Amino acid sequence: MSEQVVEIQRALDQLDKGLVRAKVFSGQGSSSSGEKGQNQAMQQEVVEAFSRNEYNTLVKFPHRTSTNAYAKRPQISTV
């Protein structure tokens, strides 16, 4: 998983405990540097936890094959 995405999650978690509850959500593929994404079971658990309001912010790992520079940036989704 991208260190940049993990750092974003950590920074959001530090804003205010309880106000922002962030979780990383990534695809199933591997990056060119060998970092592995989340498997389907992990993705399902993140989505279910988000639905249960355990997390109110998802930090999405960028799609590695996109040619659009903007799409390669981490994305943040909130409720």
Alpha-carbon gap, residue 61 to 37, rounded angstroms: 9
H or E element, residue 59? strand 57-60
Which position has the higher pLDDT, 12 or 46? 46
Side chain identity at 76, as an amino acid letter? I
49: left (phi over 0), alpha (psi -120 to 50) or beta: alpha
The pLDDT value given to residue 20: 84
CATH of domain 3-78: 3.40.50.300
What are the pLDDT digits (tens) for 20-79? 888 888 877 666 666 677 889 999 999 999 999 999 888 886 655 555 555 556 666 666
What are the residue ranges spanned by the domains of the chain?
3-78
Q: Are 60 and 75 in contact (CB under 8 A)?
A: yes
CA distance 33 to 30: 8
